[in-house]
Amino acid sequence: MSYKDFLNPWIILPTFLFALFVVPVIWIIFSLFGNYSDNWVHIYNYTLSGYIYNTVLIIIGTSIGTLIIGVGSAWLVTTYNFTGKKFLEWALLLPFAVPPYILAYTFTGLFDSYGTANNLVRDLFSLPNEFIFFPKLRNVYGASIVFSFTLYPYVYLVSRMAFINQSRSMLEVGRTLGYNKFQIFYKLSIPAIRPAIIAGLMLVLMEAISDFGAVEHFAVNTFTTGIFSAWFGLYDFHTAKQLAALLLIVVISFLILEKYSRRKSRYSSGSNVFSPIAAEKLNGFQNIFASLFCFIPVFVGFVLPNIQLGYWALNYKLDFFNEKFISTAWNTFYLAITAALICAMLAVIINFSIRYKKNKVLNVMSSFLTVGYAVPGLILALGVSQLLVFMDNLIFRDYLNFILTGSIYGLILAFIIKSFALANSTIESGFLRINHKIDDVARSLNTPGWKLLFRIHLPLLTTSFLTSMILVVSEVIKELPASLILRPFNFDTLAVSTYIYAAEERMFDAAAPSIAIVAVGLLPIFVLSRLIVKSRPGYRNNDNHYQSY
């Protein structure tokens, strides 16, 4: 590539973005090579082992929970027909709409000693007030349960897609080799999709160890709560960064494992003939078991928290559409829409640059841009804060200090880094559906790049553009730690106000913003359900019509 190529706007913009996305993360990592303060020594001697212990317990508990729920339900809905299957196969995605911190808040309301569930049991069986039926959930085990029921859809989704793409013939041949149905499940079906399951599990674990809201509410000390305390308790930004760097190393190892597993999961039998699995009808006890197995995660992860939220909203705070709620909702939506619009536009420009310039360096840079989704919000907040302070010092030092720091721009930047991958994957697949011959013909008509993008590609990408915006909006609305740290003074989002109310144990006030978050979170589920249907072998994609031109 010559220096002239670097001056091309289709190269400059992605390169600038790459720098903007990567610098905050690199800053965090490099903090490990700096000085270690007394606070760090204290944390290292007294609390770090606790963070590691709790994190390991969360990893083990969440892995067991999500694997049983996610893989089990995916196998049942793919292989069998049972009562309620049609509803449950997409309803199993519903807990995606409930962020772990909201499930944690509602679990507290339900299962605390004098929570709704324990009160109900005492009332039903006329038991004394001291009687506690449901054990305490405000501990590391409760956190693992919360993560299992909110994050299992990642495993469910990838397992289901992998099971759908598994050949019926392969399983039938296995049976002729002497294995019964259950043996086929654990000796053939599961091992064959193991890379896909691991990829899903890594996403779950990245989310679980990055969580701040749920563990903080359950008073479980992990890396994220440690980072928060170091920064806002000890006012030691550097130690917070060093802790964040350690967490980032764990997250990056999960990310590498996820990418590696995903690549391995693409192997095929090499055959061009495919017979999909024919679902078998279940009767009697097996039918009831399958229905219950798939219904319980939906009930615990979605129905139950919504019942509790509805109960709070209706019984304690009927006037939840107050001025405060409306201003918070407005803040959240315009932030989310702005971030989504920028993400989608950047994804279009970057994918177009790659397609138009056919540049390998851009391709590599693009894959780096998408790893932002794996960086925990709290770490991003640290990195972005440092970047903003640096830029303020660099640009505005002679005028007014802190123009960017503490402004809404930092928050939007963090959201863009965090959500770019969501927009990019949708836009990328949209571009793949546009036949390259269209570009060739346009070029033969002497069409410049911008005209090709705006007049030809963009109209064909309308659906992908809107889908990517929906995905980003729902992600931004749920995001808590980055919003909490980077928001301008006196600027609340729905997630932040939910957190503040819950921290003050004003659960009934937390209900309205929580319901709004869950409602918006439902949008991408419809998109995901559609993607699953599209992924079925033999599905005829009507959106693909321009491919045949």
Partner 1 sequence: MQDNILEIKNLKHSYDASKEVLKGINLDVARGEVISILGPSGCGKTTLLRLIAGLEKQTFGSININNNVVSDNKNFISTEKRDIGLVVQERALFPHLSIIKNVEFGLKGSKNDKYKTAIDLLKLFKVDKYAENYPHEISSGEQQRVAMARAMAPNPKILLMDEPFGALDHALKSELRDEAKKIFKDNGTTAIIVSHDFEDAIAMSDHVLIIDEGSVTQKGPAKDIAVIPRKNSFKIA
The binding site for partner 1 (CB under 8 A) comprises 167, 169-170, 172-180, 188, 191-192, 194-195, 267-275
* CA-wise closest residue to 152 among 105, 204, 76, 78: 204
When the beta carbons of 199 and 384 are compared against partner 1, the nearer one is: 199
Q: Tokens in use for 291?
A: 């229905």
| Residues 6+ positions from 178 with CB-CB distance below 8 Å | none
Continuous segment of H or E residues that includes residue 80? strand 80-81
Give min distance, CB of 191 to partner 1, in A. Answer: 6
Give min distance, CB of 281 to partner 1, in A. Answer: 13
Query: What are the beta bridge partners of residue 81?
Result: 281
When the beta carbons of 42 and 194 are compared against partner 1, the nearer one is: 194
Q: Is 281 helix (H, G, I), strand (E, B) or coil?
A: strand
Residue corresponding to tokens 């080799």? 177
How many CB atoms neighbour CB 303 within 10 A? 14
Give min distance, CB of 200 to partner 1, in A. Answer: 16
Cα(451)–Cα(437) distance, integer angstroms: 16
Whether the CB-CB separation of 487 and 493 falls below 8 Å is answered with yes
| Residues 6+ positions from 409 with CB-CB distance below 8 Å | 388
When the beta carbons of 128 and 178 are compared against partner 1, the nearer one is: 178
When the beta carbons of 70 and 174 are compared against partner 1, the nearer one is: 174
When the beta carbons of 258 and 492 are compared against partner 1, the nearer one is: 258
First to last CA, the chain: 33
Whether the CB-CB separation of 423 and 389 falls below 8 Å is answered with no
When the beta carbons of 75 and 218 are compared against partner 1, the nearer one is: 75
* CA-wise closest residue to 522 among 99, 106, 145, 62: 99
Give min distance, CB of 268 to partner 1, in A. Answer: 6
Cα(38)–Cα(111) distance, integer angstroms: 40
Give min distance, CB of 177 to partner 1, in A. Answer: 3
When the beta carbons of 253 and 275 are compared against partner 1, the nearer one is: 275
When the beta carbons of 46 and 267 are compared against partner 1, the nearer one is: 267
When the beta carbons of 78 and 493 are compared against partner 1, the nearer one is: 78
Give min distance, CB of 271 to partner 1, in A. Answer: 4
Give min distance, CB of 74 to partner 1, in A. Answer: 17
Indicate the Cα dihedral angle 262, 267, 272, 274, nearest 10°.
-70
Cα(97)–Cα(168) distance, integer angstroms: 33
Q: Is 246 helix (H, G, I), strand (E, B) or coil?
A: helix
Whether the CB-CB separation of 216 and 229 falls below 8 Å is answered with no
How many CB atoms neighbour CB 79 within 10 A? 21
How many CB atoms neighbour CB 470 within 10 A? 19
Residue corresponding to tokens 């918006």? 520
Give min distance, CB of 19 to partner 1, in A. Answer: 39
Give min distance, CB of 280 to partner 1, in A. Answer: 11
Give min distance, CB of 276 to partner 1, in A. Answer: 12
When the beta carbons of 188 and 344 are compared against partner 1, the nearer one is: 188
Give min distance, CB of 448 to partner 1, in A. Answer: 43
Burial of 182 (0-12, 13-18, 19+ CB in 10 A): exposed
Give min distance, CB of 182 to partner 1, in A. Answer: 11
When the beta carbons of 195 and 297 are compared against partner 1, the nearer one is: 195
* CA-wise closest residue to 474 among 526, 512, 535: 526
Q: Is 505 helix (H, G, I), strand (E, B) or coil?
A: coil
Q: Could you tell me the sign of the dihedral formed by the alpha carbons of 134, 139, 140, 146, in that order?
A: positive
Cα(312)–Cα(277) distance, integer angstroms: 45
Cα(448)–Cα(525) distance, integer angstroms: 38
Give min distance, CB of 161 to partner 1, in A. Answer: 15
When the beta carbons of 186 and 546 are compared against partner 1, the nearer one is: 186
Q: Tokens in use for 150?
A: 């909110």
Give min distance, CB of 176 to partner 1, in A. Answer: 4
The region that residue 221 occupies, defined by phi over 0 for left and psi between -120 and 50 for alpha, beta otherwise, is: beta
Continuous segment of H or E residues that includes residue 456? none
Cα(232)–Cα(60) distance, integer angstroms: 29
